[in-house]
C-alpha cells in the first residue's frame, strides 16, 4: 500500500506525452527539433528516452505538449542524469527545469493531477465499481451496480489516456496497439487491486475501459455455485467443460475458481492460456502455469497445440473464439486432458449451437460428433439484480450424459432441454430452478424472477 500512496502523492508522475527537443548554442535552439516522449514529469524536471547521450550539463530547449492545451509549454532543461538501457539501445535522460515561472510550474502540477490514473483507480476501488471508462469529451465514468455514473473529475482531453496508460505498456505492446488499434492487458496498481484494460480507438481518439478484478479467487460457495456438482466436474480426468454467458457475466471468475480449486486439492499440472491474465495464481498441491496471449504465445490455437507437449492434466483456455481454437480444445479433451473454457452464449443449449456454428454447414455432422464425444458439461451464468442492491449470480448446469450426447450427435438441440429439466439426479438444473431458489431465499425480487424466468 505504501508504494500506491507514494505514486499518488509524489509530485513526479509517470506520464507519456509528446515533447519537442532542441539542442542549444548561445542559449538559442539549433538544428531540427527531435520528437521525444516523456517517461515522467514534475514541476521540477522531466525524464525521457533518447537514442543517443546528451552529456551531463547539456542545455536543451523543449516544448511540452500537455493534453488539453493548444499551445505547448516552452522551457529550458539541464541534463542531470543518464541511465543506459543496453537491451533497448537507448538512454534514459533526467533533466531539471530552469528559468521556469511559478505559473508554468502550477500549470504542470494541475495537468499532472488530471492525468493521475492512480487517484481514479483508488476511487473506483473504494466505491466498489466494476468498470472505469476513459472517453474523450466526458469525465471519467464508472459502472456501479449496473449504472453508468460520472466521476467528480474534469473532462478527458485528447492525449490524457495515452499519457496515463502508455507508461504501463512495454514497447512491443505499444507497437501492437498502434498497428492493430486494439490492446488488452492487465496490471496491479498495488497489492490490493488489479485491473483488466482494453485500449481502443474511437473517432481517432485513444480511449480505455478498465475492469476491476478481485485479487483473490472466490470459492464455489462464495459465487453461489453448487459445490458438489462443481467439485465433481473439477475431478474429471478428461473432456471439455464450458462456461457460457454474455459479456460481464463473470465467466472468467468462475473459470479461475475451478482452476484454483484443482490447484489446491489435486496433484495435477494446470496450464492456462489467457488474454490477458486476470487472476494470478500460485502453485499449491498442483503446478499452475499461466500463459498470456501476446507476450507468452501468439494464439489460443497455437498455445493449445504446444501445451500438449508440456505434460498438462488440465488446460484452461480464456475463450473459444473460432473453429481452430475449438478443434484444438476438443483434440486436447479427447487425448486425456480436462479442458475448461468460456463461450459467449445466452444459455447452455445455445452454447452447444455456437460451437457447431463456428463451421460451415457441410462440416456440421462431423463437428456434432466431436462435440458430443468431448463435452462433459456446460455452465450458463448471468448476473442479476439482488434484493440488497448488489448483483447476484444465477446459473444453469448441463451435465453431458449418454442421452444428451446422442442428441448433440444428431443435432437435435431442441430436445436437450427436456433432459436438462429432468436430470437433477446428475446435478443438472435449469435457470428457472435456480431463480426459484433465489426467490425463495428472498435474494431476488418477484419482478427480477419473472423477468429472467420468462426466457426459459
Cell numbers 462456461 correspond to 243
Q: Note if the bond before 157 is cis, omega within 30 degrees.
A: no
Give the lowest-confidence range in 14-28, 78-92, 182-196: 78-92
- 450 sits in which H/E element: helix 446-453
Identify the residue with better confidence: 5 or 115.
115
Mean pLDDT calculated for residue range 9-20: 78
Q: How confident is the model at residue 32 (pLDDT cuts 50, 70, 90)?
A: confident
Instruction: Determine the straight-line distance between the first and last CA of the chain, rounded to whole angstroms.
Output: 47
Q: Per residue in 231-250, pLDDT tens?
A: 999 999 999 999 999 988 99
Mean pLDDT calculated for residue range 324-328: 93
For the packed helices 364-374 and 402-409, what is the interaxial angle rounded to 10 degrees? Answer: 170
Mean pLDDT calculated for residue range 339-346: 95
- 385 sits in which H/E element: strand 375-385
List domains and CATH numbers for the chain.
2-111 (2.40.10.220), 117-213 (3.30.450.90), 220-453 (3.40.50.300)
Contacts of residue 26, Cβ cutoff 8 Å, sequence gap at least 6: none
375 by DSSP, 3-state: which? Answer: strand
In this structure, what DSSP letter does residue 53 have?
Answer: -
Q: Determine contact, residues 50/36, Cβ cutoff 8 Å.
A: yes
Mean pLDDT calculated for residue range 93-107: 90
pLDDT value, residue 88: 63
Comparing CA positions, the residue from 121, 274, 261, 263 lying closest to residue 194 is: 121
Mean pLDDT calculated for residue range 23-40: 83
Three-state SS string over 191-258 comes to CCEEEEEEEEEECCEEEEEEEEECCCCCCHHHHCCCHHHHHHHHCCCCEEEEEEECCCCCHHHHHHHH
Q: Per residue in 386-413, pLDDT tens?
A: 998 888 999 999 999 999 999 999 999 9
pLDDT value, residue 230: 97
Cell numbers 497489492 correspond to 191
Percent of the chain at pLDDT above 70? 96
Give the lowest-confidence range in 9-13, 176-180, 224-228: 9-13
Grid cell listed for 244: 457460457
Mean pLDDT calculated for residue range 267-283: 92
Q: How many CA atoms lie within 13 A of 99 on its CB side?
A: 10
Give the pairing of strands 287-292 and 269-274.
Answer: parallel
Q: What is the mean pLDDT of the chain?
A: 90
Q: How many residues does the chain have?
A: 456
Q: How many CA atoms lie within 13 A of 200 on its CB side?
A: 10
CB atoms within 10 A of CB 211: 19
Angle ∠(67,71,77) on CA atoms, nearest 5: 85
> Is the pLDDT assigned to residue 7 strictly greater than 70?
no
Q: How confident is the model at residue 430 (pLDDT cuts 50, 70, 90)?
A: very high
Query: Can you give the pTM of this predicted structure?
Result: 0.76
pLDDT value, residue 1: 37
CB atoms within 10 A of CB 228: 9
> Is the pLDDT assigned to residue 99 strictly greater than 70?
yes
Percent of the chain at pLDDT above 90? 66
440 by DSSP, 3-state: which? Answer: helix
CB atoms within 10 A of CB 435: 24
Amino acid at each position: 500500500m505504501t508504494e500506491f500512496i507514494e505514486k499518488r502523492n509524489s509530485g513526479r508522475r509517470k506520464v507519456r506525452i509528446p515533447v519537442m527537443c532542441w539542442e542549444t548554442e548561445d542559449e538559442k535552439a539549433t538544428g531540427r527539433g527531435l520528437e521525444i516522449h516523456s517517461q515522467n514529469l514534475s514541476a521540477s524536471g522531466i525524464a525521457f528516452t533518447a537514442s543517443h547521450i546528451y552529456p551531463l550539463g547539456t542545455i536543451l530547449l523543449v516544448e511540452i505538449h500537455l493534453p488539453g492545451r493548444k499551445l505547448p509549454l516552452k522551457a529550458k532543461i539541464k541534463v542531470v542524469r543518464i541511465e543506459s538501457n543496453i537491451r533497448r539501445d537507448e538512454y534514459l535522460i533526467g533533466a531539471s527545469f530552469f528559468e521556469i515561472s511559478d505559473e508554468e510550474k502550477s500549470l504542470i502540477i494541475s495537468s499532472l493531477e488530471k492525468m493521475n490514473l492512480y487517484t481514479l483507480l483508488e476511487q473506483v476501488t473504494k466505491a466498489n465499481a466494476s468498470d472505469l471508462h476513459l472517453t474523450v469529451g466526458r469525465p471519467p465514468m464508472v459502472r456501479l451496480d449496473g449504472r453508468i455514473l460520472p466521476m467528480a473529475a474534469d473532462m478527458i482531453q485528447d492525449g490524457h489516456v495515452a499519457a496515463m496508460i502508455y507508461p504501463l505498456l512495454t514497447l512491443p505492446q505499444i507497437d501492437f496497439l498502434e498497428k492493430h488499434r486494439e490492446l488488452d492487458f492487465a496490471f496491479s496498481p498495488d497489492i490490493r487491486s488489479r485491473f483488466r484494460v482494453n485500449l481502443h480507438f474511437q473517432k481517432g481518439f485513444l480511449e480505455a475501459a478498465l475492469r476491476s478484478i478481485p485479487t483473490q479467487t472466490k470459492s464455489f460457495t462464495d459465487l453461489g455455485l453448487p459445490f458438489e456438482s462443481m467439485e465433481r466436474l473439477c475431478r474429471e480426468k478428461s473432456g471439455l467443460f464450458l462456461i457460457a454467458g454474455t459479456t460481464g457475466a463473470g465467466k472468467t471468475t468462475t473459470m479461475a475458481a475451478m482452476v484454483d480449486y484443482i490447484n489446491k486439492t489435486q496433484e495435477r499440472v494446470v496450464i492456462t492460456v489467457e488474454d490477458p491474465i486476470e487472476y494470478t495464481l500460485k502453485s499449491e498441491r498442483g503446478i499452475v502455469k499461466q500463459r498470456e496471449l501476446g507476450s507468452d504465445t501468439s494464439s489460443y490455437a497455437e498455445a493449445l497445440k504446444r501445451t500438449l507437449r508440456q505434460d498438462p492434466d488440465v488446460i484452461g483456455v480464456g475463450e473459444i473464439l473460432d473453429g481452430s481454437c475449438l478443434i484444438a480444445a476438443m483434440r486436447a479433451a479427447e487425448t486425456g486432458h480436462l479442458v475448461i473454457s468460456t463461450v459467449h452464449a445466452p444459455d447452455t443449449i445455445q452454447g452447444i449451437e455456437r460451437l457447431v456454428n463456428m463451421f460451415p454447414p457441410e462440416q456440421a455432422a462431423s463437428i456434432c460428433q466431436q462435440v458430443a464425444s468431448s463435452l462433459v458439461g456446460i455452465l450458463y451464468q448471468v448476473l442479476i439484480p439482488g434484493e440488497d442492491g448488489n448483483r447476484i449470480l444465477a446459473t444453469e448446469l448441463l451435465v453431458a450424459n449418454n442421452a444428451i450426447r446422442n442428441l448433440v450427435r444428431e443435432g437435435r438441440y431442441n430436445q436437450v432441454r427436456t433432459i436438462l429439466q429432468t436430470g437433477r439426479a446428475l446435478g443438472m438444473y435449469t435457470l428457472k430452478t435456480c431463480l426459484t431458489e433465489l426467490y425463495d431465499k428472498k435474494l431476488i425480487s418477484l419482478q427480477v424472477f419473472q423477468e429472467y424466468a420468462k426466457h426459459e
